[in-house]
Each structure stands twice: as C-alpha cells, then as structure tokens.
C-alpha cells in the first residue's frame, strides 16, 4: 500500500472541537449516575477473581462493557466508595458504558498465585491449564451471564502491565470481545522495561520491584509501602550500593522474589523466552488499536513489536497504531510537555476524544466512523500529526549516517585507513549519568533532556553533521552498527540520536533557552556480551575488533533546517543502566567489587570498519 505522507491538516480541520460538556465534577457524576457491584468471578480452575462493576443507573438502553484487568489494585474497595473516574478518560462518563475492573489472580483481593508476565500456554487440555487469555475469557463469560443490561459486546483496555493483560486477552478471545486497545503494553520483559538488549535498567527495576515485588500472602486491599531512599541523589545511592548482589544484603533481604529470579536468569534463557507474548499473538479477532508514546521510557519496544506481531500473524484484521508525543501513559494524563520540551495542540485531549472514544464507540456501539488510518503518528520536530497507510511508511530511503574523523557525521562512508578510530577511557566508578537531574528515578524527562551535560564528558564520543541546508525527516526503526574494540572483556554500548538546535534558535526549553539545545530523540543500549546471541553471552577478546549491531526503537522526527543531527556513543548510562564490570563474569548479579575495572574502548571509523547508524529518510 502507498504511504500517505500528507500532514493530517485536512483531517483535523473537519474534527469537531473538544467537548465542552464533560462533567465539571467527575467524582460527583459517578456517584449520581452509576451503581457499584462486586463479584467473585470463578475461573475454570476454581480460583475466584475480585471484580468491581460500575453500571449506569439509566436502564432505558443496553450498554457495552469496557474492562481493565490490572495487578495494581481496583480500589476503592469499600462498598460505599466509588472511583472518581471511570474508563480510559473523562469522555467515557457520559457516553454510556458498563465499566469493569478486575484484580488479576494473586493481586490485592483476588485469589490464586500471581506470576509476573504469566507464560502463555500453547496447549490446554484440562481445567488447571490457565493463562491470562483463559482468565479473560472466563471473566467475559461470567459478566455476560451475571451483569444485567449489557448489549453483548465487550472492550478491553490498559496501559503498561494492564496493556499486557489486554494483549493476552485478545488471543483466542471470547466472541463478545469486539475491541481491544493495548497501550504501552509489556511484550517481552527481556527487552521491555528491565533488560534492554540485555543491559539491566537498574533504577527502574529497583524502584519498581522494591514496591510491586513485595509478597502478598493473603488477599488484601492495602498497597505495599514504597522504598524509602536515604538520599534524593540516585547517582550517589546506586554508586554507593556497589555490585548488584548488595541489593539483597543491604535492602531486600531476599524478600523480593522476582529480583532473585532475574538474578538467576541473566541471559535470554527458557525463563524469559516463555514470557515473550509476541509469538502467541495469533488468532486475534477483536479490532485492535495499539497506543504508545514516542518518548516512553518503559515499554516502547512492546508498543511497536505488539503492533508488528499482530500485523504479521493476523492478516486482514483491523489493527491500527497511534503514537503521540507522550511519555509512558502520558495520553491518559493529558500530557502537553516532557521535561523541557512542549508539544502544541493539546495532543492528549485530542487523542482521548477524537481517537480513543471514537474507536470504542464504533466497535462497541456502532456509533459513527472510527476514522482511523493504519498509523496515526505525531511527527516530533515538526510538531504535527501524520497518517500513513503502512508502518514503517512506504517509500522510506534506507541510508546510513557514518562516523568520521573530527567528530563529523556524514551520509558517505569514510575512506580512512583500517585502524582509524576514536577511543575513550570508561571507568565504572565514574559512570556517565543518564540525566543531570538529582533523582532516584528513571525519569521520563530523560527522553527529551538536553544532552550537553553528556557531550562535554571525555568518555562520550560525539559525531554531528554540519547545519542542515534543508529539513530531514527520519522515520521507522534505527539500527546502530558499531565496529568496536576494548581492552577489557565486556562492555556496554549506548547510542543516542540527538537534535541539535541552532545557536540562534529563539524561545525557551523549560528553564533554558532553545539556542544550542541538544534534544534527546532516541537512544538504546546493548550489553556487549550479547552482540551475537542473547542466550549465549561471550566475552570480547581484548583489543580485537568486533561488530556490535542492535536496533533502536522507531522514530518520526524532523531535524529542521539549520539544525544538526548528532550521535553520541558511550559505555555507561547510570543509574538508568547498572554498571558493567568490563571484566566478563558469568553473571553480573554475582560480580564482586574487584571485578569492576576501567577499560579503554575504541570505535572504528575506517573504510573497512565503518561505524554508522542505519536510518530511514522520509521524502518531503
């Protein structure tokens, strides 16, 4: 199919303005217009899942059901208390839906044992053979038989972990499930969230699992307590922590089971492969709308790969993708900026009413045309919505941006001698920070941060083009092809794609001028031991050249006229990523303090070892 490269100006011009009739007090509206009913929904193996249903008091018509299954709690649990908001956004309140919320098995008030990203069963022969697909099926069957006044149609939605449950629910789905929207869904936890190409996202995993990973021996309505960091300075905290093994000795005390599980499975072995949902996304019958943010620090992999897997394995079904200028779940929070960078046009509010609401209304209520293209993607840099008939867009020109001497980045390959390279000393005791902010978190803001703090460090290689004589739009996936060597036996490789604003750029980026701003556009990291296999790591041979090739997630970004395209390469990104000892050890979770050693890393830029970034250029 031909890619439509026309800006969605015509489409937006015929869209009605944002609704003015949203309830001024949503919580009061819920109390006045909905009733609340709780159910213990039996699964085929006898386990009962705690479910809360909010139904319209108006019984003059029948309503579709809209469901979210979650491990994060569905409170308030008290019979006399109601949620202050129902559905994906406030626009659904007055539309007429039955809203269903369910604690997944083993969480909060549901029975059973919780299992992180429960593996999908390929064969099911008896009542004990359960997975998240069967739990979703059984829940829908119960709802149809026990909740009054429905129209026989069900939709499902969820962001992040609930997005995973939405994806799983689409597989061999109940016939009544007519529309599903996995949003920023977890797809494969070795590549989402915690292990980007095998590099461990320390700040995210520690903060998340120290809370979410606490045991729940019996059903409860109480949220687990959050970890209390002794300092707001995460860089200092994690550096003082030392090797990963100290997390248990000092803080977790073997109480966080999944931390121990990850430590026992540092490679992409059978444990992780069983938790890859992507191969199972077959026999998907509902209409699907995948949603994500192009600055999602957590599950950008899951967003794009879920869309691709459904397209590849379910030809002919309705499957579309929406990518906006948002962080993780920002579309549900009404997000208009990330860190220093603002995005005009109330993009989240536009999405909530004119995309999400239309999708569910069309497929669950036969109300109006959904109006969705195959891919609705926000073009950052140019700050506009685009629609495409395929993703990645058809007509992309595959090109390479090559590293050259003097920190130059160019479209032509280098012709330097075979040993031409740039090197830097990487010291795991003085790692490059992932942000200049003082924080203990994996901040969403790092996805748009000004990168000048990093480009000024001697352990960061910087390559950039001259000022562009015309705008350049990159679309689709990016691939780093690095020819490297190290004096050590292991190393991480971080690649960042950056938009450098002109020195005379006008305006502000948060608390700083836009002039010279180095805007983070996309980045990724690989643990070098996995360069040839994620299942079978192997050391580097000191000083011997090796190819490290890995994919960055997709982009749709325009580098404006007068801007520069920059690529940074480094080997530490802390504490977002844990420190690689740079000495090959079988399991970094078991590394000793003495294993962490400085090493000199080399990136080649020669005629035979031409390091580069593979990009797709979208014609004007």
Q: Please say whether the beta carbons of 157 and 66 come within 8 A.
A: yes
Q: State how beta strands 63-70 and 98-103 pair.
A: parallel
> 3-state DSSP call for residue 101?
strand
Task: Supply the CATH classification number for the domain 9-188+275-388.
Answer: 3.40.50.1820
DSSP one-letter code for 99: E
Q: How many helices (H) and strands (E) does the chain have?
A: 13, 27
**Stretch 559-582: mean pLDDT:** 98
pLDDT of residue 126: 84
Q: Is pLDDT of 2 > 80?
A: no
DSSP string, 314-368: STTS-EEEEEES-STTGGGTT--EETTEE-SS-HHHHHIIIIIIHHHHHHHH--S
pLDDT reading at 16 higher than 60: no
Return d(Cα 252, Cα 265) in angstroms, integer. Answer: 18
pLDDT exceeds cutoff 80 at 19:
no
pTM for this one? 0.95
pLDDT tens readout for residues 33-78: 999 999 999 999 999 999 999 999 999 999 999 999 999 999 999 9
Closest CA to 109 of 51, 53, 45, 46: 51
Q: According to the model, what pLDDT value does residue 5 have? A: 41
Nearest to 251 by CA among 216, 263, 259: 259
Q: Which pLDDT tens digit goes with each residue over 72-82?
A: 999 999 999 99
Give the pLDDT band of residue 3 (cuts 50, 70, 90).
very low
Please report which confidence band the pLDDT of residue 509 belongs to, taking 50, 70 and 90 as the band edges.
confident
For the stretch 393-425, what's the b/e string if a residue is b when 16 or more beta carbons lie within 10 angstroms of its beta carbon?
A: beebeeebbbbbeeeebbeeebebeeebbbebe
Closest C-alpha to 154, from 44, 266, 63: 63
pLDDT band at 387 (very low <50, low <70, confident <90, very high): very high
What is d(CA 601, CA 569) in angstroms, rounded to the nearest whole number? Answer: 11
pLDDT per residue over 443-486, tens digit each?
A: 999 999 999 999 999 999 999 999 999 999 999 999 999 999 99
* Cα within 13 Å of Cα(249), Cβ side: 8
- Does this chain's domain 9-188+275-388 share its CATH topology with 397-617? no
CATH code assigned to 397-617: 2.60.120.260
Q: Which pairs count as long-range contacts for 249-252, CB under 8 Å and 24+ apart, including other chains?
A: 251/210, 251/227, 252/210
Query: What are the domain boundaries of the chain?
Result: 9-188+275-388, 397-617
Average pLDDT, the chain: 95
Of 247 and 511, more confident: 247
Count of Cβ atoms closer than 10 Å to residue 45 Cβ: 15
pLDDT at 9 over 50: no
Pairing type for strands 177-183 and 63-70 reads: unpaired
pLDDT digits (tens, 9 = 90+) for 324-344: 999 999 999 999 999 999 999
Q: What is the pLDDT of residue 14?
A: 39
Rounded Cα gap, residues 339 and 620, in angstroms: 29
User: Bridge-partner residues for 495, per DSSP?
Assistant: 524, 569
pLDDT(438) > 60: yes
Residue 378 CA neighbour count, 13 Å, CB half:
24
């Amino acid at each position: 199919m031909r890619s439509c490269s026309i800006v969605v100006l015509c489409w937006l011009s015929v869209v009605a303005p944002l609704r003015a009739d949203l309830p001024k007090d949503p919580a009061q509206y819920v109390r006045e217009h909905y009733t609340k009913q709780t159910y213990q929904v039996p699964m085929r193996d006898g386990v009962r899942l705690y479910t809360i249903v909010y139904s319209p008091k108006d019984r003059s018509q029948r309503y579709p059901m809209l469901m979210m299954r979650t491990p994060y709690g569905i409170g308030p649990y008290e019979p006399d208390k109601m949620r202050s908001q129902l559905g994906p956004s406030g626009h659904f309140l007055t539309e007429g839906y039955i809203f269903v919320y369910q604690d997944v098995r083993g969480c909060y008030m549901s029975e059973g044992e919780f299992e992180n990203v429960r593996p999908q069963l390929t064969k099911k022969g008896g009542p004990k053979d359960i997975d998240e697909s069967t739990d979703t099926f059984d829940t829908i069957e119960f709802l149809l038989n026990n909740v009054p006044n429905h129209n026989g149609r069900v939709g499902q939605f969820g962001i992040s972990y609930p997005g995973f449950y939405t994806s799983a629910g689409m597989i061999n789905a109940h016939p009544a499930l007519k529309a599903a929207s996995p949003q920023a869904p977890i797809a494969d936890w070795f590549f989402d969230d915690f292990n980007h190409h095998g590099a461990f996202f320390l700040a995210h995993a520690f903060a998340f699992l120290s809370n979410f990973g606490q045991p729940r021996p019996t059903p409860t309505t109480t949220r687990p307590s959050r970890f209390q960091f002794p300092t707001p300075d995460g860089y200092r905290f994690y550096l003082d922590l030392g090797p990963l093994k100290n997390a248990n000795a000092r803080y977790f005390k073997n109480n966080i089971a999944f931390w121990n599980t990850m430590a026992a499975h540092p490679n992409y072995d059978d444990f992780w492969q069983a938790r890859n949902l992507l191969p199972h996304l077959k026999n998907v019958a509902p209409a699907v709308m995948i949603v994500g943010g192009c600055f999602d620090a957590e599950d950008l992999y899951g967003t794009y790969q879920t869309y691709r897997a459904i397209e590849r394995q379910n030809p002919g079904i309705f499957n579309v993708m929406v990518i906006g200028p948002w962080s993780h779940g920002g579309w549900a929070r009404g997000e208009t900026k990330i860190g220093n960078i603002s995005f005009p046009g109330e993009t989240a509010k536009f999405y909530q009413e004119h995309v999400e609401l239309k999708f569910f209304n069309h497929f669950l209520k036969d109300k109006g045309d959904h109006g969705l293209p195959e891919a609705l993607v926000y073009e950052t840099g140019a700050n506009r919505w685009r629609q495409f008939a395929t993703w990645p867009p058809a007509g992309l020109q595959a090109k390479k941006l090559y590293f050259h001497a003097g920190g130059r980045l160019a479209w032509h390959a280098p012709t330097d001698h075979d040993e031409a390279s740039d090197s830097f000393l990487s010291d795991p005791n003085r790692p490059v920070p992932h942000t200049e902010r003082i924080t203990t978190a994996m901040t969403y803001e790092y996805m748009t941060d000004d990168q000048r703090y990093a480009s000024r460090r001697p352990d960061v290689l910087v390559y950039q083009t001259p000022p562009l004589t015309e705008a350049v739009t990159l679309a689709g996936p990016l691939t780093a092809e690095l020819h490297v060597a190290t004096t050590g036996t292991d190393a991480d490789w971080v690649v960042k794609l950056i938009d450098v604003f002109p020195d005379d750029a006008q305006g502000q980026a948060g608390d700083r001028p836009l002039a010279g701003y180095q805007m983070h556009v996309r980045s990724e990291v690989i643990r070098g031991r996995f360069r040839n296999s994620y299942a079978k790591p192997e050391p580097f041979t000191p000083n011997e050249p090796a190819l490290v090739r890995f994919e960055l997630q997709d982009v749709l970004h325009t580098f404006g006229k007068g801007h520069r395209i920059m690529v940074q390469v480094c080997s530490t990104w802390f504490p977002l990523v844990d420190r690689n000892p740079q000495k090959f050890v079988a399991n970094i979770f078991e590394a000793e303090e003495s294993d962490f050693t400085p090493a000199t890393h080399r990136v080649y830029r020669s005629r035979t070892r031409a390091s580069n970034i593979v990009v797709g250029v979208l014609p004007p």
